[in-house]
Structure 1
Amino acid sequence: MRHGEVHNPRRVLYGRLPGYGLSADGRRMARQAAEYVKGLGRPIAALVVSPLQRTQESAEPFTEIFGIEPLIDERVIEPTNVFEGRHMARALVNPWNWRHLRRPALPSWGEPYVEVIARMNAAMTQAWESVDGGDVVIVSHQLPIWVTHLAVAGLPSRHDPRDRRCALSSITSLEMVDGRWTEVSYAEPASTAGAVDVGAV
């Protein structure tokens, strides 16, 4: 699951910066996602969460509804990014920043996609193997979820961030079949009309 809307009045790319928690709407979105999962009628065996504030707050409804405490896992955190704290539109018109855009396939402005995919895979595999039955909910961020989707689908990791299918509080479901991950479904259970979603790397 991706976290809900973040309180980001300056509309900056917040990345791993501290102090970016959920907005009131973001808390509503997270609860809608948790209630959606409850409605599936599947047992939840574990809850794994990125260490950032917005993901921990998005996990709170799962703790309340399912009675499970979150396990913090650094491997499902937002990637690093040199543009943290900036407005992307302004940063991109500054020639000094163009050096960070020289190799978008990596990407050259932050943590390489291949490393994000590897750590997400390791966290997911450990979570899968740690429970005898039931589902594991992992609360993470847009880019790690999206590049994991691309890797599972056998697609190149290079992409346009504007084209990611990973809405606020969306749920991307995967399972391991014969030692390989496969995507089962994608859902957007939360109402996100009018949401501010400009902080993802």
Structure 2
Amino acid sequence: MCLKKVLSVCLLLLSFAVKGFSQETLNNNYELPTPENWRTETFDLPAPFAADIPFKGTEHIRFSPGWRQKQAEDYWTYCFLWAINSQVSFTKTNLEQYLNNYYTGLVKANLAQAKIDTTIAIPVKVKLNSSRKSKTDIQAFNGQVEMLDYMTQDPIKLNLLIHIKKPKQGTNSSAVYFEVSPKPYDHKVWIKLDEFDQAIK
């Protein structure tokens, strides 16, 4: 991928962070750690590219060092936390729909920013299954997103681990933590992503 397109993608993500950030709506009830060399972004929910998501809050993102480097073992490996300003009930069905809307909008927005015809985007497919939950989860899911990799314009399959967190005492908020990577679940990249889950404050 040419440098110009890579820069366009980065500028688009930065613009989402700048436009979406609002001190009034920033949800500080939950925090993700910030490891060295991991890039961070924070913006309001719903994200500008997924306005149909029906709740408000803050999205915190952590990108692995090799997130946009095609040959890196942690390519497309990242995590994000939805810190929501109200109590929200999640099901397999509504999470699949939210993620379908989210990744459909993300792909098209990045293609448009790079001046690439958005009609090349393949339909996003999301499939989730119930998974073993940790002691800090209400529910947990694993699954997969099939979509167009907007950085290479090739199809990609992203594996997911999703944690619906127990609400913090004394708060009227919800949190959902997403681990994302194309690597199989036995790859070492998931160790780092799991460490984020254990460190959520």
TM-score (norm 2): 0.32
Bigger fraction of residues in strand:
2
Bigger fraction of residues in helix:
1
Determine which structure has greater relative contact order: mean sequence separation of CA pairs < 8 Å that are 6+ residues apart, divided by chain length: 1
